[in-house]
Amino acid sequence: MKSFNLFLQDLNDGSTHAGLTGDLADLLQAVKATGRTGSMTLKIKIASASKGGGEVDKITIIAERKLELPKPEQPQDFFWLTDDAQPTRNHPRQHSLDLRDAQDQRGGLRTATEQFTQPDADGVMIFKEAK
């Protein structure tokens, strides 16, 4: 019996061997790129080439290659569901907070020194009432 690698190189005039070599290269690159698992399979089917039973002297060989490349991790997103099962970005039972610009009557932003007293000896600051 000749070795399997010689049989594989002879099968389909070497096209099966060449295809497996290419599949292996693609699989190795995909595993390197994703860090995930992939696989390749060679299935060889051997059948009698002649009808009837008994001992045969002719066979057919079919080589099936299967390549399963690793899939990259899919991104995920987060949504809340409303009572009627509609996806929403906002929590359906939480009120929204209406924000506005923090400007004083002069039209400018207040500085920290305008909003708080200077710290006392204990480091305590007191908030000043807005005018």
Summarised one tens digit per residue, pLDDT across range 56-109 is 889 999 999 999 999 888 889 999 898 898 898 888 888 877 787 766 555 555
Q: Look at residue 96 and tell me if it is in a domain.
A: no
Q: What percentage of the chain carries pLDDT values higher than 70?
A: 84
Q: Look at residue 40 and tell me if it is in a domain.
A: yes
Distance CA 95, CA 6 (A): 73
| pLDDT computed for residue 22 by the predictor | 97
| pLDDT computed for residue 131 by the predictor | 56
- As for how many domains the chain has, the answer is 1
At residue 115 the predicted structure's pLDDT band, cuts being 50, 70 and 90, is low
- This prediction has a pTM of 0.57
Q: Look at residue 57 and tell me if it is in a domain.
A: yes
Range of the structural domain that residue 55 is part of: 4-68
